[in-house]
Amino acid sequence: MDFANVWTIAQKEVRDALRNRWFVLFTIAFAVLALALSLLSQPSGTQLRLASYGRTAAGLINLVLLFVPLIALTLGASGLASDRETGALAYLLAQPVNHSEVLFGKYIGMATALLSSLALGFGIAGIALIQQGTTANALGYLVTVGLACLLALSMLSVGFLIAVLVHKTSTALTSSLFAWLFLVFIGDLGIMGAAIITQMPIATIFWIATLNPLQMFKMAAILNIQANLEVLGPAGLYATETYGTALMPMLLLGLLLWVIVPLALAQFTFSTRSFITAKRSLA
């Protein structure tokens, strides 16, 4: 693999992301909402003050769960699929580059743009807190930022996998939106419904929840802030009592697997399908 080619493709993807109006809008919206969540009304209700890092991180968890998977999935799914549909991918593959260089170049470029967006949002809120002299639990805030970045990369990998499995941009976007809805809403409701109907053991509920990267992020973020998962009910208590200090490494490993495995599957599928697409387009 020629890393010069990878870097060239990555730079192009960053420039394309900066020209994407939806991505710029997401970046601005996330930054504004992150700052807004760091503002809390005082008891009098007449003034605003900035909360501590820990409370701000807790407020950002739900924001991350809704926004980050959506933008990462749609960015990963639409980027590669649209290039294939317009013929840009076939033209790129006709150049002296291989499939791995193209895929990883695009992934690195999109990941750079996505992580920069998150850094801007978290950074604005963090700088605002520093200006108020608030430094308590700053390390926990930084850990939350790192967990959000892992979640973003995992969803970007899933988006790439969707893109190589379908042929049309519209289908890729529809599939990514369905995946977002499933992970955010249906996942939680499905687990709760199945638990009530089947009376499944607490251990089974916990392990089913860990199959969802969003649930793993939520558990890791809460664990980072308050050192236990009692707010998640019996499953959270079971997890902290059973695995103790090993729980956080388990969740981190799970998120890393969600980054690596879908991307590896996407690379394998891309190398077997896009070559045929490129040949047909050049014929």
Helix residue ranges, H only, the chain? 3-19, 21-37, 53-86, 88-93, 99-131, 138-165, 169-181, 187-198, 202-209, 213-226, 234-243, 247-282
pTM, full prediction = 0.86
Its domain, for residue 79, covers: 3-282
Burial of 197 (0-12, 13-18, 19+ CB in 10 A): exposed
- 25-26-27-30 Cα dihedral, nearest 10 degrees: 120
Q: How many domains does the chain have?
A: 1
- SS3 label, residue 73: helix
Q: Quick one: pLDDT at residue 184? A: 84
Cβ-Cβ contacts under 8 Å for 280 (sequence gap 6 or more): 90
What is the token pair recorded at 174? 């529809």
Q: Quick one: pLDDT at residue 274? A: 47
Instruction: State the CB neighbour count (10 A cutoff) for residue 112.
Output: 15
Q: What DSSP line would sit under 140-167, residue for residue?
A: HHHHHHHHHHHHHHHHHHHHHHHHHH-S
Unique residue bearing structure tokens 């969803």: 155
Q: Quick one: pLDDT at residue 112? A: 94
Q: What is the pLDDT along the chain (283 residues), one digit of tens a residue?
A: 778 888 888 998 888 888 888 888 888 888 888 888 776 533 444 444 445 566 777 778 888 888 899 999 998 888 888 888 887 888 888 888 888 888 999 999 999 999 998 998 888 877 877 776 555 567 778 888 999 999 999 999 999 999 998 878 888 889 999 999 888 877 666 666 666 676 777 777 778 878 889 989 988 988 887 766 666 666 777 788 888 888 899 999 999 999 999 999 999 998 886 444 444 443 3
Q: Quick one: pLDDT at residue 195? A: 64
What does R_g of the chain's alpha carbons equal in angstroms? 21
